Chain A
């Protein structure tokens, strides 16, 4: 993800704020559809796909990341088909209940919003994103939390991988773990990550990072980045263009319109 964030493409060169605002509008619009809507959501895939394509981000990589989060969406949507059995639509001999329709809608929205958020991070880089948020007057505490969450995720994963390896080496084959061992493992992981996080923080502090405001160095927890971008007309065009598209796609069902056009042309 870090390496993708450093690519130099037209999308990467856009100001972080423009991308954040557009993505927020995107998420709000996607969420505003009624719960049985499926087809009208389809045109919205254009936004994440355009970001990824112009940003030269591999689709497969982002797709795998999305799959990690799928269980959460499944849990939210899985009872809909059971509870809501009223038939709403039918395709040929198949009748589709409202539950399945709303389930499909939830999954679609999940894919849309998560892919847009991931595309945003991949096309901006977490540090530029943090700096952008800060300039949008997001309280510094939240921005610093976000950056540390991101940074320490790798730290914890690293510790975890090392512990699993040493455990596997001593556990004689792929026997399943006893619960007690798991408990101790998780506890150790927590303590070790704490220690490591502490050392990383120490290294940051000794290079002038400080979260206490008003220090003489000016390094008061501010996230500083090298290539600070400024708002240009392309950024305005980016926000304006996409917002216009979202508005059109929200008001008219573009997928249906396209379908009618193709069908009309064919007959």
Chain B
């Protein structure tokens, strides 16, 4: 059974305080695709992402991971299939050392010690952070924290990577490294961001979210080039698409 498929059907969500955040979102993301979820602040991106691993339960509609709907019964396998990288790495790194942090997921999955060791080492190698294995996570730089946070998710060998604002707080070099790293992954990727240059480089498809609804969906260059659409939803046409020749 392939888990690489993510489908959202007519998703509605209302917070307990009565705020309607999602008002009927539908999309389908297939194997190996790299899709950007763009929209202004408060458009509902983060809330939508929290549905993808069952942390929030929809008020109406459903989420399907692979071939099965996300329910209480399937939530464990769905969480293993969908790796979440949160907006703030400080929330994600909570163990005393980088090694233990990356090992947290595999440990919870009940893997044998040598398999855990192997997974941690290869996940850290993958993101180029092996030299930090014994350091406490809170002493790392923002770029290192981001890379380690990604390693913690890779160690669980997910089929789908979901990221919330991965390029936030990174310096240009850190951002460049992140782009190269993500481009090298074969996973299905869902990236919520308003860094549109980042989207141009990494994603083939874009979903524009505003006011809890999907406003537009289509190929990256086509959609982001639509100045009227971008401005209407609190975004702007990326600089790199404006000038086709570099200057």
Contact = CB atoms under 8 A, between A and B. Distances in A.
A226 B100 contact: yes
B79 A205 contact: yes
Interface stretch (A54-62, A138-146, A176-184, A211-219): A211-219
Given A217-B108, A224-B107, A224-B108, A206 B79 contact: yes
A205 B50 CA distance: 12
A196 B92 CA distance: 11
Given A208-B79, A217-B76, A203 B91 contact: yes
B123 interface: no
Nearest to A209: B108
A141 B238 CA distance: 51
Contacts of B11: none
A218 B104 contact: no
A121 to B, nearest CB: 12
A207 B88 CA distance: 16
A218 B110 contact: yes
B109 A208 contact: yes
A35 interface: no
A204 B96 contact: no
Contacts of B82: 206
Nearest to B84: A206
Contacts of B88: 199
Interface stretch (A2-10, A17-25, A41-49, A235-243): A2-10
B96 A202 contact: no
Interface string B173-205: 000000000000000000000000000000000
B152 A151 contact: no
B105 to A, nearest CB: 4
Given A3-B136, A226-B116, A203 B92 contact: yes
A205 B136 contact: no
B80 interface: yes
Contacts of A206: 53, 55, 79, 82-84
Interface in A181-237: 196, 199-200, 202-210, 215-219, 224-226
Contacts of B130: none
B76 to A, nearest CB: 5
B109 A219 contact: yes
Contacts of A208: 76, 79-80, 105, 108-109, 156
Contacts of A205: 55, 79
A207 B152 contact: yes
A127 B134 CA distance: 16
A200 B156 CA distance: 18
A130 interface: no
B15 interface: no
Contacts of B94: 151, 200, 203-204
A226 B80 contact: no
A196 B91 contact: yes
Interface in B88-126: 88, 91-92, 94-97, 100, 103-105, 107-110, 113, 116
Interface string B200-238: 000000000000000000000000000000000000000
Nearest to A205: B55
Contacts of A3: 96, 136
B84 A217 contact: no
Interface in B65-90: 76-77, 79-80, 82-84, 86, 88
Contact of A216 (B55, B76, B108, B116): B76
Interface string A1-41: 01101100000000000000000000000000000000000
11 contacts: A2-B97, A3-B136, A6-B96, A199-B86, A200-B91, A206-B55, A208-B105, A209-B108, A217-B80, A219-B110, A225-B107
Interface of A: 2-3, 5-6, 125, 127, 151, 196, 199-200, 202-210, 215-219, 224-226
Given A203-B84, A208-B105, A215-B76, 11 more contacts: A199-B88, A202-B86, A203-B86, A206-B83, A208-B79, A208-B108, A208-B109, A208-B156, A218-B109, A224-B107, A226-B107
Interface of B: 50, 53, 55, 76-77, 79-80, 82-84, 86, 88, 91-92, 94-97, 100, 103-105, 107-110, 113, 116, 134, 136, 152-153, 156
